[in-house]
Copies of this chain bind each other. A is one copy, B any other.
Amino acid sequence: MKKIVVDLLNNDGGEEALIEASLKFAFENKDYFLYLVGHEELIKKINTKKVGNIQIFNSTNLIHIESSPREVLRQESSMLEAFNVLKNEDADAIISSGDSGAFTSLSFFKIERLHPEIKPAFMPVMATVNEGQKMLLLDAGANLDVTSETLINWAKIATLYYKLLIENKEKITVGLLNIGSEDYKGSLLNQETNKNFKISKNNFIYEGFLEPDDAIKGKVDIVVTNGISGNIFLKTMESSFLNVLKLLKGIFYKNLKNKFAALLLKKDLKKFKERYDYRNTGGAYIAGLNKVVVKAHGSSDSLAFYSALQQVKNAIEKNLTEVLKKEIEAWND
């Protein structure tokens, strides 16, 4: 029996959508057992099919950080409760759509690392404008200060994630996000890391410095950078795409003529929108930990959360944690 802990609170779009998705997943996957942390009464009410392979942990406190990440350990919350359940029940995975900062902090505090010297990282799966090409970005906001060694270790780990969970290509390519593609450009850290990448023993092809445009065009499979640049890149890209689409919607609804034109384009525009919809790119992994840890999007609807659960399942079926552990041990021999 595979076990997944689900934090149901903290979703911008409400708890119901997550409960529905979780029950649907449990109903369809009888070899899985789900620990649902949230409003007990509400879960029972929605569970009209009497799905049996679940256990409810009643929790009604939303997580809320005011001044420091360590607060997550001091206040009662469904998210903290979920991490306690993960440990006590020795579950395989944990998933939440709550606050990224809180979730990442709790993951770091509560779950063992795969290797003591490798920092965990917040790693979303992102769509690129190169059709079908997905990329992993790390770190997207959890680690603000990093070393050259950390960045190279992340590239190695992300390569395993990519091959195992996204596409088993022979050659995985990695780029280092920078403010220019020339070797002399960027911070001292980036210059040092660029040199070290070129001489280190890698399980990927290092493509050198990468500008945002290269990343957006899907030139590489994995983009590494510190948490500040990664977060700014991720949020700027997400916001730009969403805002352009919103502006276009305004044009399409402007008058009858435009509405008619939009109708003709409807099918293609829908396909386009879906391609860049977070619900179809999946959640973010917290990479480098001894459990499967997935952060679903903060405003997940039922479909988005169900997809994220499938993503968790995929990682469990592929034995992600064991494969990673073995590979990392081999590097350090």
Contacts and interface: CB of A to CB of B under 8 A. Distances in A.
Interface string A232-248: 11011111110111111
Interface in A179-225: 179-180, 182-187, 211-213, 216-217
Looking at A180, A239, A264, A272, the one whose CB has the most chain B CB atoms below 10 A away is A239
Contacts of A141: 179-180
A46 interface: no
A257 interface: yes
Nearest to A245: B244
A228 B232 CA distance: 10
A235 B211 contact: yes
Q: How many copies does the complex hold?
A: 2
Nearest to A216: B239
> DSSP majority for the A interface?
helix
A265 interface: yes
A177 interface: yes
B67 A183 contact: yes
24 contacts: A65-B182, A66-B182, A66-B184, A68-B184, A101-B185, A129-B243, A144-B179, A144-B186, A179-B227, A179-B232, A179-B235, A186-B228, A212-B235, A216-B239, A217-B243, A229-B232, A232-B232, A232-B236, A247-B272, A248-B248, A251-B272, A254-B268, A258-B264, A260-B264
